[in-house]
Amino acid sequence: MTVDKNSIIGDVLDAYPQTAAVFMSIGMHCLGCPASRGESVADACMVHGVDADELIAEINKVIAG
């Protein structure tokens, strides 16, 4: 699975649970909430005032190990 701005957060977390810490670091503390799990990475970044490209880079860094 390739993670990009259009990826759904729930799908990312299901495939790569280790990315939860990255999402929490931007203030997404409700990762179990159905609404947040259904958002795209881009939507979450907009709500939390985070640069989506930077977050995607960090997520992919964590995935790569």
- Specify the pTM: 0.88
DSSP letter for 9, please. Answer: H
Give me the mean pLDDT over the 15-44 stretch: 86
- Those residues with Cβ within 8 angstroms of residue 31's Cβ, 6 or more apart along the chain or in another chain: 9, 13, 20, 23, 24, 37
- Per-domain residue ranges of the chain: 9-64
pLDDT at 31: 75
Nearest to 28 by CA among 3, 9, 14: 9
pLDDT at 5: 96
pLDDT tens per residue, range 31-50? 777 777 889 999 989 988 99
Tell me the C-alpha distance between 16 and 1, whole Å.
9
pLDDT at 1: 79
pLDDT at 63: 95
Q: At what angle do helices 41-48 and 52-64 cross, to 10 degrees?
A: 120
